[in-house]
Structure 1
C-alpha cells in the first residue's frame, strides 16, 4: 500500500500498488488558505484588452476569480465535436477526445493488435477506427476482472438453473434470524428461491433460527476452510439474512407489478441460464461476493506477462458482453492518440 495525500483537500489515501484501488483514510481535512496572489504580475506575454463594464459588479470573495484569466480561457478555441457513432450501448466503447473522431467498439477491439506490455500494468494496442489507426492502452487487471466476472456469473446462473449451486457442509450451522425473516422462509416461494441460489436449510421449530446445511458455492472460499468448516460465520449469516430480505422485497414488488398490469400484458419469464437476466435478479450481497472473487482471481498490477498472454487478455475482453468496465466500474481501456497518415513528398 502507498500513502498519498490530496494536495487540495488534504485527505489521506492508501493506494493498492497491485490493483490500483484507492481507499480514503480519515475525514476530509480543510485545505489551508494561502495569501491571495496578484495574477496580473504572472502575465506570460498575453495581451488582454480590458472590456468596459456594462454595469457595476459586486466584489467577490473568491480568491481564484480573475477577469484576465477568464478572458484568456475564453480565447482558447474549443476542440471540434466528435462524430456520432452508430450502435447500441453494448457495442460503443470510450470515445477518443480531441483530434480523434470516433469511438472504440467491440468489433474494433476484436481487431486490435497488441504491441507490448508497459510497466507491468497496461497493454498498449492499436486498432482501426473509421479508417484511422488509433493507439489505446488496456488496464490488464480491469480487463481480466471483467472477463472473470462474466465467466463466474455465467457459471453460477447455469448451476442455479440446474439446482447444483449448493456446497454441502460437514455439519449444519445455526443462524439467528428475525421473526419476520423466519415467517418469510416458511413461504414456499421464498424457500424455493433460496434453495435455487444454493442455500440448503431447515427451520428450527418454535425458534427464530435456521440450520444451514449447504451454502452457495460462490461463498465457499470466503466463509469456509479447506475442510469445509465455517471460518467466517458472521459473513455467512449476513449474506444469508440479506438474501432473505432481497428475495422477499423482489417478490413483493413483482406481485404488485402483476396486479397493476393484470389483463394488459402477459408476463414473460426470463431465461434462467442467461447470466445477464440472472444478475438483475441476483441478491446484491451475493453479487458483491462474485465481484470480489473476480477481482482477486484476475491478473494484478505488476504481474509481468508474455505477449501471447496479452493477446489472449485483449481477445477475451472483446468477447465480453460489457467489455468497457471492470466489475467495479473502472474503465478497462483508454484511447491515447490517433496516428495520421502523412502524404509522401517524392520531390
Structure 2
C-alpha cells in the first residue's frame, strides 16, 4: 500500500500530500484513490526510531549464536543502586541474561541492599551526554533505576528475561528519534519528500510515530468524490422544454375557452 504511494507536494511546511491505493487489486504502480496527508515530523521520527533500534544491537556474525545483544558502554565510577534482598537475588540469578540487555551489574559483599552498575545500554550514555549538552541535570541514574525496576518486575511476573526490546530502552530511543527528526515548518524539496516517503514505506510500523501517534491522515476517497460529482444541467435543453410548456399551456387554454363557449346555450333576445 505505502510502497506505491504517489507524492504530490509538501503542504504548509508540515505535511506531505500523497495518493495511496486502498484497493486489493493494487498493481504496484504509483498513485491510488485515497488522498492522505503524511505528518513529516511523525514520519521521520518513525524512520529514525526503527533505524536507531537496529543500530542499538551488536552486529550478528554469520556463525554466531543468534542471540541479540544490546550495545553497552562502561561507566566509571559505577552507579550505586539500592535494591531489596529479593530484587538483589533475582538480579544475581539472571545477571548473565541481563548482560544481553547491556546491563552489567556488580554485587558487592559489603551490602545486601546495594548493587553497582558498571555497564549500561549505549543509548543511556548518549541520552546523558545530550542532556548535559543542553545544560540540564543528569538523568543517567534515574534511567538505570527505572530499567532495573522494569526487569525485576518482568522476572517476578514471567520468571525470565523477555526477548523484546525493553520499554525503558525504547523510550530513550524514541526521545532521540524525536529530537533529531524533521520539524514542522521545515521546508522540503520534492526529492526530499520522495526519499522520506520511501523510507517510511520500509518501516514495520509506518502508520504511527515513535510515541504512538498517527503519522498518516486520510482526507478523501477520490473515486467516491467522482461518483458524487453532479452533472451540469443542459441549459439549451431546459430552454426548449420551457418554451414547449409555454406553448402547450397557451394551446390548452384556447381549447378550454372554445369548449366552454360551445357548451353554453345561445342567448335569446328579450
CA distance in 2, matches of 1:217, 1:166: 5
- Contact conserved, 2:131 with 2:137, CA < 8 A, in 1? no
Match of 1:9 in 2: none
CA distance in 1, matches of 2:59, 2:117: 19
Match of 1:82 in 2: none
Higher relative contact order (CA 8 A, sep 6+): 2
CA distance in 1, matches of 2:22, 2:79: 58
Q: Residue by residue, what CA displacement relative to the aligned partner does 1:138-183 show, whole Å, maximum 9, x if unpaired?
A: 00011111122222223324569454611123x2233131233333
Match of 1:244 in 2: 148
TM-score by length of 1: 0.53
Task: Describe the SS at the equivalent of 1:142.
Answer: helix
- Contact conserved, 2:36 with 2:216, CA < 8 A, in 1? yes
TM-score by length of 2: 0.67
Task: Describe the SS at the equivalent of 1:129.
Answer: coil
**How many angstroms does 1:202 deviate by?**
2.1
CA distance in 1, matches of 2:199, 2:50: 11
Match of 2:3 in 1: 110
Q: Residue by residue, what CA displacement relative to the aligned partner does 1:62-102 show, whole Å, maximum 9, x if unpaired?
A: xxxxxxxxxxxxxxxxxxxxxxxxxxxxxxxxxxxxxxxxx
- Contact conserved, 1:224 with 1:232, CA < 8 A, in 2? no
Of 119, 126, 132 in structure 2, the residue corresponding to residue 221 of structure 1 is 126
Aligned length: 211
- RMSD over aligned Cα atoms: 3.2
**How many angstroms does 1:308 deviate by?**
1.1
**How many angstroms does 1:137 deviate by?**
0.7
Listed as ranges, the gaps of 5+ residues in structure 2 are 26-31, 61-66, 235-270
CA distance in 1, matches of 2:158, 2:17: 46
Task: Describe the SS at the equivalent of 2:90.
Answer: helix
CA distance in 1, matches of 2:59, 2:140: 20
- Contact conserved, 1:174 with 1:211, CA < 8 A, in 2? yes
Match of 1:310 in 2: 193
1:177 aligns with 2:63: no
Of 8, 30, 34 in structure 2, the residue corresponding to residue 134 of structure 1 is 34
Question: Equivalences for 1:67-216 in 2 at 5 Å?
Answer: 107=1, 109-130=2-23, 133-158=33-58, 161=67, 163=69, 165-169=71-75, 171-180=76-85, 181-187=87-93, 189=94, 191-207=95-111, 208-216=113-121
Task: Describe the SS at the equivalent of 1:110.
Answer: coil
Q: Residue by residue, what CA displacement relative to the aligned partner does 1:21-69 show, whole Å, maximum 9, x if unpaired?
A: xxxxxxxxxxxxxxxxxxxxxxxxxxxxxxxxxxxxxxxxxxxxxxxxx
Task: Describe the SS at the equivalent of 1:193.
Answer: helix
**How many angstroms does 1:226 deviate by?**
11
